Amino acid sequence: MSDDLTARLANLTPKQRELLLKKLRSKQSADKKQQAITPQQRQGNMVPATDSQFQLWVPDNLADGLPQYNIPMGLRLHGPLDRQQLINALQAIIARHEILRTSFHNQDGRLMQKIHDHLALDVPLVDLQAWDAANRECEARRIMRADAKRPFQTHTLPLMRATLIRLTSQDHILYVTKHHIISDGWSIGLFYDELLKQYDHLTRQADPLPPLPIQYSDYTFWQMSAESQAKQQKQLDYWQQQLGGDLPIFELPTDFSRPQVNSHRGDVQTCLLPQAMVQQMEVLSQEAGATLSMTLLAVYKLLMLRYTGSTDLLVGIAIANRQQKELEQLIGLFLNTLVIRTDMSGDPAFSELLQQVRRTTLEAYDNQDLPYGRLVEAIHPERIPNRNPVFQSYFGMQNYPYATLKAGELQATVLPEGYVHTQTAKIDLSLLVYNEGENLRCVFEYNTDLFHPDTITRLMGHWQTLVANVAANPAQRLSEFGLLTAVERTTLLHTWNQTQLPLPPQKTIPQLVAAQAARTPDAAALIFAEEQLTYRQLHERTTQLARYLAAQGVGPETLVGVCMDRSVDMVVSLLAVLQAGGAYVPIDPVYPPSRIAFMMTDTQAPILLTHAHLLAHLPPHQAQVVCLDTDWDTITQTEGGTNLPVASPENIAYIIYTSGSTGRPKGVTITHHNAVAMLQWATTVYTPAELQGMLAATSISFDISVYELFLPLTLGGCVILAENALHLPTLPARDKVTLINTVPSAMAELVRTSKLPESVQTVNLAGEPLKRDLVDQVYAHNQVSKVYNLYGPSEDTTYSTFLMVPPQETAEPTIGRPLSNTQAYILDKHMQPVPIGVVGELYLGGMGVSRGYLHRFGLTAVRYIPDPFSRQPGQRLYKTGDLARHRADGEIEFLGRIDHQIKLRGYRIELGEIEARLRKHADIRDAIVTVFEAGPNDLRLAAYITADADVMPQLTPQVLRTHLQQTLPD
């Protein structure tokens, strides 16, 4: 329908609209007459199955005895009951509808219905009158649940069972289980209605039921007719246009890994939409020219949008598919499944979404004759054993108009939906809505292999919240609708972020180290190979160099480059820069000259501390060079009378360069306040005994080094320097190492090739995703009592969240909870908190959030944004670009990157930067870089390039490595 026509219809007066409706009804009536179904003369008792029956029979036979297609149903009967006449009425219904005495058989590769002349259904009586009232209902429900789970064999009668449960002489339950292949939702209402009318006829001589004009087999022949087939073929064109090509993948966040094969194990939870809310939704529907079902479907789509983030959503819906009048009173499987596709991009208002759902649903209704099975065959979706081929989420609203269920003094009440369930689920998640008096009962059926019951309980609460909010303001944009309850919002934003911890009186790193040196001057502070310094010696050497630097003009906000091999001088240099009030720029000497040149140019560092043997490797730069090994005599001549400059907590302490997607690295500016907050957190987690010997094996260009070097020196521990973690077994001081702080890949290699020293008590793993098998391997060293998983970007000062990973668990480690003075929020793209279990982007706030990127004001404004949740003015959040979700216990699961960035061996790498560098090669047209797992805890990069055929043989891996090494760290 064109927008112009839609507008014209909206402008019709009520009288004009009524006239148009009369014309449409008249046309619809004429169409039905043309398609009338008439009784057919069949040969024998074998009839081909319908498409819907076949589509259901195939998975049912593959399900190995699962009751996934059982339909449990029941009537609560109040009043005097004639049991035999009730059984007679039931037998009369079976005689009236041949589908109720039909079995199904595979005959030469074709599914056939076998119609039996007679079926005597056994209706046992279970008498519970002797049970006490408290347990009577529970036992009745147990009996019904057990029956609901008993599978049928479709080739054997009966395909329905009935049990009469007597609670008291005036209170009975007639419980019936049918196989879906002979019944659908509409049929349930028909069955109830006809059973009570037939019982009334037998007990009080009420009017008999009128004869049926046709039987289900007549519908079968009609569906096979040339006219019907031609209509289906025409409708197929519409569906191929709607669903052709690649279909969007629907990924609800699950609590458990999806099994390789769908077990169809399931359960249900139910809630009520109260009368007042239902009335509001009905008014909204009327104003939009939509049905209540369409409006609720639109709300369900909104719920799925908020849970998945996907704006292109496919949801299956059921349609009674009884367009011909002859079918309205016929029991059987007529139900068809339609797929409603909705585009919610651009954040439309709900009223706009509703109009789209209305339009798409009406179009689907116009093309409802094509069986779902034929549609699937035609569009050839990718077949995955553990998924439904087209959609994973389903919505249905049962709108059969139940008559008053009574027969004389006998009153009948339909058992509420979900009261008894088969404990199966056909797809991931279904919402079935039923009329229940003035209310609507909403039944959520879910796959228990995927979802924890608590997750569905929360989802159900979000459904109710959305319905209420939509009813109150349908003009709001989809992103503006509140989803969380007040309690949830408080928990996510505040309760789980109550991390306040006072900072120490020493507000900068050198003040903390100096205070410790005063407390334990003769304790070992630093060991490298055979060289060892006490706190007194370290402080004296650091102070000497700091005075020299101050004399050269170093002070607050002065950037000083430090490019050294791992050595005592390296640690002294870092501390001296800080003690002089400056900020150090760590430069790994293994970096390519072009990388070093960029860092020196970007920082405009006036001084570079290094060693003489590295000078030949350094590119041209503007800095004054100080070689500690050859210039020390000059350094020691600096007089010590003047006071050193003092940095404030808000001054820069150091700059860490991270990879940039455009090929230009970013310098993250970390203040003393940031670093001290991280160190103060660590004092509440790690004991002095654990910090007695800290292995410091990480490059100073990587922010983990800040933890390794400065935490022990502020708490009386000893820093044990190593070239890298794999050198631990060969260190002279290896038996003094009590804490290892490294990346999982290094630890995996370490435990593979050697035993950890008996002195190691604690292992910190950070910088890469941590796997459970590595945790188990570390705990296999019995002396290790704690393994921590730590997460954090440089922009939030090394670590942001942590978890002490318990031993002897099977679940993969989470990244835990926020550090002291850190807040962690998981938000959607509209900066709204997402529910527990739902994936969003992780934002970090608190004292660890750094100043920003050096000279990159635009990028800083994009990644560092005002904190909308803080009660303190001026606070900011860092937008990590990491995907995460909260578990119900408050721990955070890390789920990877939104963008092209990864962490490999602890280094943050922009895949886009590598791609950009590859494309700079004269012979390469395009490049893509990916990460793959070469083995357990062994992530590697792979580059794929395109080039002209004549030069491709020359672009060997070694050639490409050499090209990249000119500009990128190895």
**How many whole angstroms from its chain centre is CA 529?**
48
Question: Among 840, 863, 890, where does a domain finish?
Answer: 890
Identify the top-confidence range among 231-245, 293-307, 659-673, 906-920. Answer: 293-307
- AA letter at 69: Y
Place of tokens 């010997």: 693
**Residue 938 CA: distances (Å) to CA of 748, 774, 900:** 8, 11, 19
Pairing of strands 801-804, 786-791: antiparallel
Residue 580 lies in a domain: no
Q: Is the dihedral of CA 184, 189, 190, 192 positive or negative?
A: positive
Number of domains in the chain: 3
**393 near 428, Cβ under 8 Å?**
yes
Q: 821 and 886: one domain?
A: yes
The CATH number covering residue 825 comes to 2.30.38.10
- Rg of the Cα atoms in the chain: 36
What residues pair up with 818 in beta bridges, in sequence order? Answer: 801
Q: 904 and 960: one domain?
A: yes
Residue 955 lies in a domain: yes
**784 near 765, Cβ under 8 Å?**
no
pLDDT tens for 597-640 read 999 999 999 999 999 999 999 999 999 999 999 999 999 998 86
- Across the beta sheet with 46-48, the strand order is 46-48, 110-115, 102-107
Q: Once rounded to an integer, what is the mean pLDDT over residues 30-44?
A: 74
pLDDT tens for 333-342 read 999 999 999 9
What residues pair up with 406 in beta bridges, in sequence order? Answer: 411
- AA letter at 883: L
Q: 904 and 867: one domain?
A: no
| Residue-level pLDDT at 18 | 53
**Residue 948 CA: distances (Å) to CA of 123, 922, 958:** 79, 11, 18
Interatomic CA distance for residues 188 and 416, integer angstroms: 13
pLDDT tens for 258-302 read 888 888 899 999 999 999 999 999 999 999 999 999 999 999 999
- Above 90 in pLDDT, residue 660? no
- AA letter at 540: E
Interatomic CA distance for residues 359 and 355, integer angstroms: 6
* First vs last C-alpha separation in the chain: 60
pLDDT tens for 702-713 read 999 999 999 999
Q: Once rounded to an integer, what is the mean pLDDT over residues 360-385?
A: 89
CA atoms within 13 A on the CB side of 871: 5
**335 near 321, Cβ under 8 Å?**
yes
Q: Once rounded to an integer, what is the mean pLDDT over residues 927-939?
A: 75
Q: Once rounded to an integer, what is the mean pLDDT over residues 231-236?
A: 92
Question: Among 890, 922, 943, where does a domain finish?
Answer: 890
Exposed, middle or buried, 381 (CB in 10 Å: 0-12/13-18/19+)?
middle
| Residue-level pLDDT at 970 | 60
**Residue 361 CA: distances (Å) to CA of 25, 242, 481:** 18, 12, 23
Cβ count near 36 (within 10 Å): 12
**418 near 269, Cβ under 8 Å?**
yes
- AA letter at 628: L
Interatomic CA distance for residues 739 and 766, integer angstroms: 13
Interatomic CA distance for residues 36 and 33, integer angstroms: 5
Q: 910 and 932: one domain?
A: yes
| Residue-level pLDDT at 716 | 95
**760 near 782, Cβ under 8 Å?**
no
**Residue 459 CA: distances (Å) to CA of 427, 454, 835:** 16, 9, 8
Containing structural domain, residue 865 = 817-890
Q: Is 177 helix (H, G, I), strand (E, B) or coil?
A: strand
Interatomic CA distance for residues 196 and 200, integer angstroms: 6
- Above 80 in pLDDT, residue 415? yes
| Residue-level pLDDT at 905 | 60
| Residue-level pLDDT at 30 | 46
Residue 863 lies in a domain: yes
Q: Once rounded to an integer, what is the mean pLDDT over residues 738-747?
A: 94
Q: Once rounded to an integer, what is the mean pLDDT over residues 313-340?
A: 94
Q: 873 and 914: one domain?
A: no
Q: 909 and 880: one domain?
A: no
| Residue-level pLDDT at 384 | 74
pLDDT tens for 450-504 read 999 999 999 999 999 999 999 999 999 999 999 999 999 999 999 999 999 999 8
The number of residues making up the chain comes to: 970
Quote the tokens at residue 215.
Answer: 């039987």
- Across the beta sheet with 531-534, the strand order is 531-534, 524-528, 718-721, 693-696, 739-742, 762-766, 786-791, 801-804, 817-818
Interatomic CA distance for residues 786 and 816, integer angstroms: 14
Interatomic CA distance for residues 635 and 113, integer angstroms: 99
Residues 6+ apart with CB under 8 A from 456: 269, 444, 446
| Residue-level pLDDT at 505 | 86
Interatomic CA distance for residues 713 and 627, integer angstroms: 25
Q: What is the DSSP string of 640-686?
A: --SPPP---TTSEEEEEEE--TTS--EEEEEEHHHHHHHHHHHHHHS
Q: 867 and 919: one domain?
A: no
Residue 931 lies in a domain: yes
- AA letter at 828: D
Place of tokens 């310094």: 533
Q: 877 and 924: one domain?
A: no
pLDDT-based confidence at 917, cuts 50/70/90? confident
pLDDT-based confidence at 8, cuts 50/70/90? very low
- Above 80 in pLDDT, residue 864? yes
Cβ count near 888 (within 10 Å): 12
Residue 597 lies in a domain: no
Identify the top-confidence range among 332-336, 373-377, 909-913. Answer: 332-336
| C-alpha triplet 107, 113, 118: angle, nearest 5° | 125
Interatomic CA distance for residues 236 and 831, integer angstroms: 41
**56 near 181, Cβ under 8 Å?**
yes
The CATH number covering residue 936 comes to 3.30.300.30
What residues pair up with 940 in beta bridges, in sequence order? Answer: 932
Interatomic CA distance for residues 728 and 527, integer angstroms: 13
- Above 60 in pLDDT, residue 156? yes
| Residue-level pLDDT at 636 | 92
Place of tokens 């049990």: 163
Residue 874 lies in a domain: yes
Question: Among 863, 890, 917, where does a domain finish?
Answer: 890
**161 near 94, Cβ under 8 Å?**
no
Place of tokens 């609203």: 397
Q: Which of 50-64, 188-202, 511-525, 858-872 has the lowest mean pLDDT?
A: 50-64
Q: Is 896 left (phi over 0), alpha (psi -120 to 50) or beta?
A: left
**793 near 908, Cβ under 8 Å?**
yes
Residue 839 lies in a domain: yes
Interatomic CA distance for residues 457 and 270, integer angstroms: 9
Q: Is 742 helix (H, G, I), strand (E, B) or coil?
A: strand
Residue 223 lies in a domain: no
| Residue-level pLDDT at 4 | 41
Interatomic CA distance for residues 825 and 834, integer angstroms: 9
Residues 803-829, buried b or exposed e (16+ Cβ, 10 A)? bebeeeeeebbbbbbbbbbbbbbbbbe
pLDDT-based confidence at 249, cuts 50/70/90? confident
| Residue-level pLDDT at 172 | 97
- Picking from 91, 115, 119, the residue whose alpha carbon sits closest to that of residue 104 is 115
